[in-house]
Amino acid sequence: MILLSVVGARPNFMKLAPLARALGGRSGVRHVIVHTGQHYDAEMSDTFFAELGIPRPQHNLEVGSGSHAAQTAAIMLRFEPVCLETKPDAVLVYGDVNSTVAAALVAAKLGIRIGHVEAGLRSRDWTMPEEINRVVTDRLADLLFTPSRDANANLRAEGVPDERMHFVGNIMIDSLVASLDAARALAAPRRHGVEGRPYVLVTLHRPGNVDAPDTLCELLEALTALSADAPVLFPVHPRTRVRIRDLGWRAPAGDALRLLDPLPYLELLSLEMAARLVVTDSGGLQEESSYLGVPCLTVRPSTERPVTCTEGTNRLVAARREAVLAAARDAVAAPRRRVTIERWDGHAADRIAEVLVDGARFT
Ligand code: UD1
């Protein structure tokens, strides 16, 4: 059996790693990895392959950055010959980035079965490119691996037959569980001089938050105000870095609000585990902070991961200074609690491998 995984952007890599491990242990399975090159900076890509022990991709399409159309089209043009040459039994795509939908379109047109890892999530916010990618990919996929029961309900409401859905759990949590000891041993809070102190960990990169100067300004002011009470560590995504530079904004004097380069997976996890509060617009951090029981404010009008709000520690907040500050006060005052979410248990990849190789079903 030849299985071909396509990844391209940072959040894909934590989802690929556990499945690469699970498939690597199966006899009779050849797992081919294709990197589209959507993310290409070492700190956005290579470090993740190294830390997560992902085998070197057999193909790198080196598409780089561009408009959505240019990037998606470049991936399609360069991925098609790889598919024709490799002749996979199934193409596996991950999450909701442009690489996901581009590879799914190519596979569908070639009549190759598609497995979508992290299927069925819906924000119902059509202004998000990820929502378009999710809906189109799920429509094309033959095997839909869902992380939570709400995802199955979304798919059912769109007419997807039950036989195509497999509620396998959250594969991102597989990577987290496998990395907890190493992340703890890294002791990143000590290296950042915040050990034993309450601190806030921030990531922001969604176009909705960083592309409009007014909104970005408002958020930077909120972070500045937060940093009066506790250190704020803010690893900055490349697109956010450019927007902050365009704004001409300077961090306040002192080191209470620290703009850092993007962090490797283990270092970020090590900081996340011990944070007093996470402020983010990332999908992955919403999930990880819930699993870790760390309060999280998600600066977005909606989330495609509602279990993180209903079962976990997540709360949505508007991109306004006062809203962020009020929510931060509430979140920090609330008692901490243990979170368990169904099938977020470190075994999602094993279940996916059982479906792919043994024909198992997970309902
Ligand atoms: C992409 C995903 C988003 C995901 C995010 C995680 C889409 C539509 N978006 O957004 O869902 O949450 O990845 O990071 O697929 N850049 C670099 N170096 C890199 C990669 C990007 O400098 O290695 C800069 C470039 O200026 C580029 C910009 O970041 O134009 C945006 O990159 P792109 O891949 O288009 O989208 P992300 O914002 O990273």
Ligand 1 atom nearest residue 98's Cα: 15
Quick: pLDDT tens for 223-235. 999 999 999 999 9
- CB atoms near residue 85 (< 10 Å): 10
- Identify whether 10 is part of a domain: yes
What is the C-alpha separation between 145 and 164, in angstroms, rounded? 9
Q: What would the mean pLDDT of 252-273 be, rounded to a whole number?
A: 96
Distance 39 CA to ligand 1 centre (A): 6
Distance 205 CA to ligand 1 centre (A): 8
pLDDT at 281 over 90: yes
The CA–CA distances, whole Å, from 274 to 125, 171, 282, 292 equal 32, 22, 18, 9
Residue-number span of the structural domain to which 34 is assigned = 2-169+344-358
- Identify whether 174 is part of a domain: no
H or E stretch covering 212: none
Ligand 1 atom nearest residue 282's Cα: 12
What is the C-alpha separation between 191 and 207, in angstroms, rounded? 31
- Identify whether 176 is part of a domain: no
pLDDT of res. 286: 98
Asked if 316 and 201 sit in the same domain, the reply is: yes
What is the C-alpha separation between 135 and 126, in angstroms, rounded? 10
Ligand 1 pocket test, candidate residues 39, 43, 61, 98, most atoms within 8 A of CB: 39
pLDDT of res. 261: 97
Q: What would the mean pLDDT of 55-78 be, rounded to a whole number?
A: 98
- Identify whether 315 is part of a domain: yes
Asked if 262 and 155 sit in the same domain, the reply is: no
Asked if 271 and 315 sit in the same domain, the reply is: yes
pLDDT at 266 over 90: yes
Exposed (0-12), middle (13-18) or buried (19+): which is 134, by Cβ within 10 Å? buried
pLDDT at 336 over 90: no
pLDDT at 338 over 90: no
Quick: pLDDT tens for 160-214. 999 999 999 999 999 999 999 999 999 999 999 999 999 999 999 999 999 999 9
In one letter, which amino acid is 230?
A
pLDDT at 335 over 90: no
pLDDT of res. 337: 80
pLDDT of res. 346: 98
Look at the chain and report how many structural domains it folds into. Answer: 2
Where does ligand 1 bind, in terms of residues with CB under 6 Å? 9-11, 38-41, 44, 65, 96-98, 129-130, 205, 237-239
Distance 334 CA to ligand 1 centre (A): 34
Asked if 100 and 120 sit in the same domain, the reply is: yes
- Identify whether 231 is part of a domain: yes
Asked if 158 and 289 sit in the same domain, the reply is: no
H or E stretch covering 180: helix 171-186
The domain that contains 66 carries what CATH number? 3.40.50.2000
Share of the chain above pLDDT 90, in %: 97
The CA–CA distances, whole Å, from 91 to 21, 33, 40, 206, 236 equal 17, 10, 22, 28, 32
pLDDT of res. 17: 98
pLDDT of res. 222: 98
Ligand 1 atom nearest residue 44's Cα: 23
Ligand 1 atom nearest residue 43's Cα: 23
Indicate which residue of 35, 59, 205, 237 is catalytic.
205
Ligand 1 pocket test, candidate residues 237, 245, 305, most atoms within 8 A of CB: 237
Asked if 117 and 200 sit in the same domain, the reply is: no
Contact 341, 291 (CB under 8 A): yes
Is 205 part of the annotated catalytic residue set? yes
Residue whose CA is at the smallest distance from ligand 1 atom 30: 65
The CA–CA distances, whole Å, from 138 to 92, 101, 127, 141, 296 equal 12, 9, 18, 5, 28
Asked if 162 and 205 sit in the same domain, the reply is: no
- Identify whether 253 is part of a domain: yes
Asked if 253 and 280 sit in the same domain, the reply is: yes
- Identify whether 43 is part of a domain: yes
Asked if 265 and 354 sit in the same domain, the reply is: no
Asked if 141 and 264 sit in the same domain, the reply is: no
Asked if 319 and 202 sit in the same domain, the reply is: yes
Mean of pLDDT over the chain: 97
pLDDT band at 221 (very low <50, low <70, confident <90, very high): very high
Residue with tokens 């930077």: 220
Residue whose CA is at the smallest distance from ligand 1 atom 28: 239
DSSP state, residue 263: P
User: Among the listed ranges 191-200, 232-241, 286-295, 334-343, which one has the minimum average pLDDT value?
Assistant: 334-343
Q: What would the mean pLDDT of 248-260 be, rounded to a whole number?
A: 93
Quick: pLDDT tens for 126-144. 999 999 999 999 999 999 9
Asked if 328 and 351 sit in the same domain, the reply is: no
Quick: pLDDT tens for 31-51. 999 999 999 999 999 999 999
- Identify whether 96 is part of a domain: yes
Say if pTM beats, i.e. exceeds, 0.95.
yes
Contact 8, 101 (CB under 8 A): no
